[in-house]
Amino acid sequence: MDASWLYMYMPIAGVNIFWPGLVLIGFSVGVIGGFFGMGGAWMVTPGLNILGFPMAFAIGTDIAHIAGKSMISTMRHSKFGNVDYKLGFVMLVGTMVGIECGAQIIMYLERLGMVGSVVRWVYVGFLMLIAFMVFYDYFKAVQKRKAGQVDGEKGAEGITWYKTFHKIKIPPMVHFKTAGFTCSAWLPITVSFVTGVLAGFLGIGGGLLRMPALVYLIGCPTHIAVGTDLFEVMISGLYGAFTYTLKGRIELIAVFVMLTGAAIGAQIGTVATKYAKGYGIRVAFGCAVLACMVSIILKQFNYSASAAAVILSAIGIICIYIMGIMFKGAANELREKRIREDAAAVV
Amino acid sequence: MLVVVADTRRVSSGIEKYFANLYNTNILLFAVWAVVLTALWGVILGVLMDFIMSRTGLDLKSRKIIEH
Q: What is the pLDDT of residues A230-245, one digit of tens each?
A: 898 888 888 888 888 8
Task: Say if A223 is an interface residue toward chain B (CB within 8 Å).
Answer: yes
Q: Are A46 and A29 in contact (CB under 8 A)?
A: no
Q: A224 — contact with chain B (CB < 8 Å)?
A: yes
Domain boundary assignment for chain B: 11-54
- What residue in B sits closest to A255 (Cα-Cα)? B38
Report yes or no: B53 at the A interface, CB cutoff 8 Å.
yes
How many of the other CB atoms lie within 10 Å of CB of A186? 18
pLDDT single digits (tens) A62-86: 888 888 888 888 988 888 888 999 9
Whether the pLDDT of residue A107 is over 80: the answer is no
Contact A259 B41 (CB under 8 A): yes
The shortest C-alpha distance from B14 to chain A (Å) reads: 13
Cβ contact B63–A79 (<8 Å): no
Domain ranges of chain A: 4-346
Q: Is A85 on the interface with B (CB under 8 A)?
A: no
Query: Which DSSP symbol is given to A214?
Result: I
From residue B40, alpha-carbon distances to A72, A76, A225, A233, B18 in Å are: 11, 16, 25, 17, 18
Residue numbers of B between 8 and 47 with CB closer than 8 Å to A: 8, 10-11, 16, 19-20, 23, 27-28, 30-32, 34-35, 37-39, 41-43, 45-47
pLDDT tens figures, A108-164: 777 777 666 777 788 888 889 888 988 888 888 888 888 877 766 666 777 778 888
Which residues in chain A (98-127) have CB-CB distances under 8 A to chain B? Answer: none
Q: What is the DSSP letter of A127?
A: H
Nearest C-alpha of chain A: how many angstroms from B41? Answer: 7
Report whether A138 contacts A158 (CB < 8 A): yes
Q: How confident is the model at residue B37 (pLDDT cuts 50, 70, 90)?
A: very high
State the nearest Cα–Cα gap between B25 and chain A, in angstroms: 11
E strand or H helix at A10: strand A7-10
Pick A238 or A202 by higher pLDDT: A238
Q: Please give, rounded to a whole number of angstroms, the shortest distance from the CA of A43 to a CA of chain B.
A: 20
**Pairwise CB contact (< 8 Å): A241 & B38:** yes
- Cβ contact, residue pair A141, B50, below 8 Å: no
Asked if A139 is an interface residue toward chain B (Cβ–Cβ < 8 A), one would say no
Mean pLDDT of the region A170-191: 89
